[in-house]
Amino acid sequence: MEKKSLSAGMNISSFENKEGKRESFNLLLDPLKPSVLLHACCGPCATSCIERIAFDYNVIIFFYNPNIMDPLEYNLRKEALLKFIKIFNEENKGTTHVNYIEGRYEPIDFIKRADRLKDEPEGGRRCDICFEMRLSETAIRAREIGADYFTTTMSVSPHKDYDNIKHIGLSLESKLGIKFLDIDFKKKNGFGRSVELSKKHGLYRQKYCGCEYARNAEK
């Protein structure tokens, strides 16, 4: 995949997905930087993660979250993410650029995998399935589009065990041959900065992780 400079305009990428269908999209990439497909769970979590790595990597945001079972909630989180990406790109025009692609919204697939564990506590085996599902799809998509790395914004949350996320990421790296970018975004005040940025820009902040099981646990 040829990468062009920011001043050269858009790079049109085309690839065959795992279903054998052809997909294409536009990316604005800097040829001097490696690229990372950054799975984003929501706008607020993505803020400080983007800020931290977008000047060293070509960041391609991947919004893939079938665990968000409520379509309204899904769209609220996506809109918050797109709002921040637009703000960030406008503020840093000519210096760096964050790209965005979206995965398929398939909550039924998540329910099929997780429903048997609906009574598990937060942080238990159900969450492992959720991490594996989203990270696996991110790694597959990263390999398809020719990215150098994949990683996730989920690590910015103080409620997420980074060692577990890292273990899944490195396992996928070994299995699929795409490098996992080992970075715990909650470090260096990542979570505090995400709260600050989301408040500054008026981003929607959800009150639960994503699935209805977690939502019910909060009640």
Tens-of-pLDDT digits for all 219 residues of the chain? 333 344 444 454 555 555 666 666 788 889 899 999 999 999 999 999 999 999 999 999 999 999 998 999 999 999 999 999 999 999 999 999 999 999 999 999 988 887 787 766 676 787 889 999 999 999 999 999 899 999 999 999 998 999 999 999 999 999 999 999 999 999 999 999 999 999 999 999 988 777 776 666 555
Cβ(117)–Cβ(129) below 8 Å: yes
Closest CA to 135 of 49, 65, 208: 65
Q: Looking at residue 11, what is its pLDDT? A: 57
Closest CA to 37 of 116, 118, 103: 103
Q: Looking at residue 7, what is its pLDDT? A: 40
List of residues 6+ apart from 30 with CB closer than 8 A? 3, 5, 6, 58, 96, 97
Q: Looking at residue 204, what is its pLDDT? A: 96
What is the model's pTM? Answer: 0.88
- Domains of the chain (ranges; CATH) run 30-218 (3.40.50.620)
Beta carbons within 10 angstroms of residue 215's beta carbon = 17
Q: Looking at residue 18, what is its pLDDT? A: 59
Q: Looking at residue 1, what is its pLDDT? A: 35
Q: Looking at residue 5, what is its pLDDT? A: 40
Cβ(100)–Cβ(192) below 8 Å: no
**Residue entry with tokens 């696996």:** 136
Could you give the CA distance from residue 111 to residue 103 in angstroms, rounded to a whole number? 17
